[in-house]
Structure 1
Amino acid sequence: MEKIQVEPKSVFTTRLVKSEDLNHHGTLFAGRTAEWFVESGFIAAASLVNPTGVVCLKIHGMFFTKPVRPGQIIKFESKIVYAGKSSLVANIQVTQSGVEKPFVDGFITFIHVNEHTVPSAHNIEITPKTEADIALYEQAKALKVKG
């Protein structure tokens, strides 16, 4: 089967930080952020393949640079920046409304699976064009999961 050439394309989701999303310091709980982070990456992967065949393999990291307070609106920008035979690696950047610099950034590897949850080829090849996407492609490629 011939490979499908795809340029990285951003998918956006937004969230309102509410009281049930807070930790004991009154700021956004990292666990809730992780939930939204994975969900956002999943949506980017599901924009390329059938969502029933996508599973999360590994969160490569979520680096926080500042706290988020209740009432703030945050935006998740996710895009698939690298594809292996069955893997899809998403880069997710999280920003606060009105602020361009991300306060959370990281990568997640998803695996395309068949109905028996066995990894299967997705036939997608990521072809980055911009300098930023090329840099993300190289970072994601270096994360290749062994095992």
Structure 2
Amino acid sequence: MGDSRPPTHIVTRLVKGADLNHHGTLFAGRNAEWFVESGFIAAAGLTSPANILCVNIHGLVFKKPVPSGSIIRYESRIVRAGRTSLLAYIQVFLQNDMRLLVDGFLTFVHVDRDDRPIPHGIVIPEHPDDLPILERLRTISA
């Protein structure tokens, strides 16, 4: 039996001088920008990008500072679909290293031309491997 989950999308970034804060590490705002972009790419892989709006960032946690010159990898995947919403889970790692730097969730809403929510028709069955991720989301949302 194959994996019925949506694919994981990988975005790689080089942390440069313009991306740094006053401590010489990756500025949280730039990291959040790349985080949202990565989640958007996962959502856009399932529906039209023109119909997607990011409406919530949940539980974004910066676990370790990221120094200049680092190559970081954003791994994003849609883990839940509501009637009009898509929930992405994003993890950030150093390239070639499995130490988690950042993780969190994004909620996207599928909208019409007037930015009103409309059904997207996407169904994502709950996968056993995603249960800890979804439980964490429930804890954050409580």
CA RMSD, 1 decimal: 1.8
Measured in 2, the distance between the counterparts of 1:140 and 1:21 equals 29
Measured in 1, the distance between the counterparts of 2:132 and 2:123 equals 16
Alignment: residue pair count: 139
The match for 1:102 is: 100
The match for 1:58 is: 56
Could you tell me which runs of 5 or more consecutive residues in structure 1 were left unpaired when the two chains were aligned.
1-5
The match for 1:30 is: 28
| TM-score when normalising by structure 1 | 0.87
SS of residue in 2 equivalent to 1:124: coil
Measured in 2, the distance between the counterparts of 1:81 and 1:137 equals 8
Cα shift at 1:143: 6.3
Cα shift at 1:136: 2.5
Matched, 1:136 2:133: yes
SS of residue in 1 equivalent to 2:80: strand
The C-alpha deviation readout for 1:43-81, integer Å capped at 9, x for no partner, is 000000000000000001211111101111000000000
Counterpart contact for 2:59–2:140, Cα < 8 Å: no
Counterpart contact for 1:128–1:137, Cα < 8 Å: no
Measured in 2, the distance between the counterparts of 1:138 and 1:112 equals 24
Identity %: 51
The match for 1:3 is: none
